[in-house]
Chain A
Amino acid sequence: MKNLGYRLFGFMVAALLFLASVTSASACLFSHYQPEVPESLRK
């Protein structure tokens, strides 16, 4: 059970990191507020 939870969190984190990489490729997203992009994602 603990292993399943760990995998679930791992999957969630991997999906979020992938999304971060995708969203950082845009000029900005939809709204009129832009959170600061981390240095490692700036390109």
Chain B
Amino acid sequence: MSYLSFSKRWAGYLATKTGLASEKEQILTYVIEVLFLNLANVILTLLLGLMLGVLPGTAACLLTVAIFRHTAGGAHSSSPLRCAMVTVMVFPCLALLASALAQVGQFYSDLLSGLAVFIGLMAIVLLAPVDSPAAPIISPLRRRRLKFLSILAIILVAALIAALRYSSLDYTAEIQLCLALSLLWVGFILSRPGHLLMMFIDTIDIPTKRR
């Protein structure tokens, strides 16, 4: 199994200190990598959102997509660096787009929200959960449970969009559109074009050392 060197090192240190078996050390390596990468991605994404002046929208997009990544899965990149690029850029961009679209008018916001809920629901009913070779879903029971949770999540988000529609608090029009655009992103990342985009991103050559 290939993990990043820092997670192997930290897991090795903890395993030595506590006399852990090698199987448990591998689990530690996995969880350290998962925690570190996700935390780094969240912090960098929120920082970019803050710099662009769309922090609440970025946080709303992050939270919405995180719920669906947990239950519905989706396409993945094969490299942590490329993944960070996608994650850090996509959510502030969705928030910026929502901020611009919020100026267009309530009718179009409602239209887009309705469309997003429909597309998100269809994608989840037809495709979720989408696993990856690195984390396969083996049990049919677990598959059914994740699908049920995904459908429950989309009902919850749809209800939240409807509640925001009639709320008069600050940022509600933007947040409503952030949730709608996040649902469209979820639908996209579950679908074949989303997988093709990730495959394309994996082909981008990133120079790591100066020549």
Q: Do A and B come from one complex?
A: yes
In this complex, how many residues of chain B approach chain A with their Cβ under 8 Å: the count is 58
Task: Count chain B CB atoms within 10 A of each CB in A28, A30, A31, A41 and give the residue with the most.
Answer: A31
**Chain B positions within 8 Å of A4 at CB level:** none
User: Per-position contact with A for B77-114: 1 when CB-CB < 8 Å, else 0?
Assistant: 11110111011000000000000000000000000000
> Is B69 a contact partner of A28 (Cβ separation < 8 A)?
yes
Query: Which of A9, A40, A43 has a CB less than 8 Å from the CB of B139?
Result: A43
Is B131 a contact of A27 with CB atoms below 8 Å?
yes
Establish whether residues B76 and A33, one from each chain, have CB atoms under 8 Å apart when the complex forms: yes
The answer to whether the Cβ of B14 comes within 8 Å of any Cβ in the partner chain is yes
Which residues 3-43 of A sit at the B interface, judged by CB distance below 8 A?
5-6, 9-10, 12-13, 16-17, 19-20, 23-38, 40-43
Interface extent on A, as a size class? 20 to 34
A33, B69: Cβ atoms closer than 8 Å: no
Most buried by B among A12, A19, A20, A35: A35
Most chain-A CB neighbours within 10 Å: which of B18, B24, B72, B83?
Answer: B18
Interface residues as binary, B125-147 with A (CB distance below 8 Å gives 1, 0 otherwise) = 00011111011111100100010
How close is B20's CB to chain A, nearest CB, in angstroms? 7
Find out whether the CB atom of B18 lies under 8 angstroms from the CB atom of A13: yes
Give the Cβ gap from B146 to chain A, nearest Cβ, in Å. Answer: 5
The verdict on A35 contacting B37 (CB below 8 Å), with A13-B28, A27-B146, A30-B62 known, is yes
> Residue B159 at the A interface, CB < 8 A?
no
Whether B18 and A9, one on each chain, are in contact in the complex, defined by CB atoms closer than 8 angstroms, is: yes
B23 touches which of A12, A30, A40 (Cβ 8 Å): A40
What 3 pairs between A and B have smallest CB-CB spacing? Answer: A27-B73, A33-B83, A20-B31
